[in-house]
Amino acid sequence: MSYRVPADRDDQSLERAGSSPDATAVLAAHVRSKSIDDPAARSLVAAAGGVDESRFPRELVDHVVESVRVRTSFLDDVVMRSVRRGTSQIVILGSGLDTRPWRLPVPNHVHTYLVDRDGTAGFSSEVLGNSPYGQIRSVTVDVTQLHWSAKLVESGLNPDRRVLYIAEALLVYLSASAARNVAYESAGLGSPGSEFAFTYGKAQRNPDSLYSSLRKSVSEVGGEFKSAISHPQSYIDGTGWTLSEVETYDTYRSKLPDIGDNPSAWTQGREPSWLCLSAHQ
């Protein structure tokens, strides 16, 4: 069953949602609405003013749609496994217009904290309202600030209980030191058994690569890739987390049903080589 936007929240009421979310978040939600069945994402994108896809190269759109399908599947699976193990606190860092709290059927006692900057953090709740699955709290935080995690506790997070953190398509937008601090501070809040799931990019220097094209398209909407990693171990070492699962998009994708839409862009070896990973204390 997927979440249906309440009938009283038509496009006009959505447009009245006061703030305007981060443009890369809108783009990601647009792509997600093409990658999986996600009516809530469609509503959020409409409320944010939509996305003109013709601005971006077709090959890139196809590739990103497939990348988002892969990372969504990986992280959805992480969430559901963690909740089955008893985790009742989920923190989505750089949450953008992530619809997981409206999409994934977690029990009512699960609290999800949607963490993003001003203008983006509360947007989804404002547009979509409460979820039939679990409780949602929006937290306005700039994760490049030291001690950003204190705001989570102020917002009700219990640091003595298990937490699942998710950083999806966030870390590349941070400097290397800010990205490390995200892992470091997350490791400090939550009981043993807490988890930190993240995606991170691999540096690609080929100017003809899809990655360069992605970087350019992202910069056109005001986003900037600020850091990259060659292997997640170098990122996670010394932060307090231990890698437990490491997948490249390629390896994880090969385990999914092949939807066969446009595999050419994927198989030409020019992919951005994003990594989907999970780690726990």
Ligand X SMILES: C[S@@+](CC[C@H](N)C(=O)[O-])C[C@H]1O[C@@H](n2cnc3c(N)ncnc32)[C@H](O)[C@@H]1O
Q: Which residues bind ligand X (CB under 6 A)?
A: 22, 24-25, 28-29, 94-96, 98, 116-117, 120, 142-144, 168-170, 173
* Closest approach of ligand X to the CB of residue 192, in Å: 26
Residues 184, 197 contacting (CB under 8 angstroms): no
Provide the residue type at 224 as one letter: E
CB 104 within 8 A of CB 72: no
- Provide the minimum distance between the beta carbon of 52 and ligand X in the complex, in angstroms, as a whole number: 17
Minimum distance of ligand X from residue 141's CB (angstroms): 6
Cβ atoms < 10 Å from Cβ of 157: 20
Residue number, 22 or 271, with CB nearest to ligand X: 22
The span from the first CA to the last CA of the chain, in angstroms, equals: 33
Q: Which is nearer to ligand X, 94 or 122 (CB)?
A: 94
Q: Which residues pair with 197 in a beta bridge?
A: 166, 278
Residue closer to ligand X (CB basis): 142 or 237 = 142
Q: Which amino acid is residue 179, in one-letter code?
A: A
Q: Minimal distance in Å, beta carbon 144 to ligand X?
A: 4
Nearer to ligand X, 144 or 155 (CB): 144
Strand partners for 280: 195, 242
In this structure, are residues 264 and 170 in contact, taking their beta carbons and an 8 Å threshold? Answer: no
CB of 137 to ligand X, least distance (A): 15
Between residues 49 and 268, which has the closer beta carbon with respect to ligand X?
49
| Cα–Cα distance for residue pair 18/13, rounded to 1 Å | 10
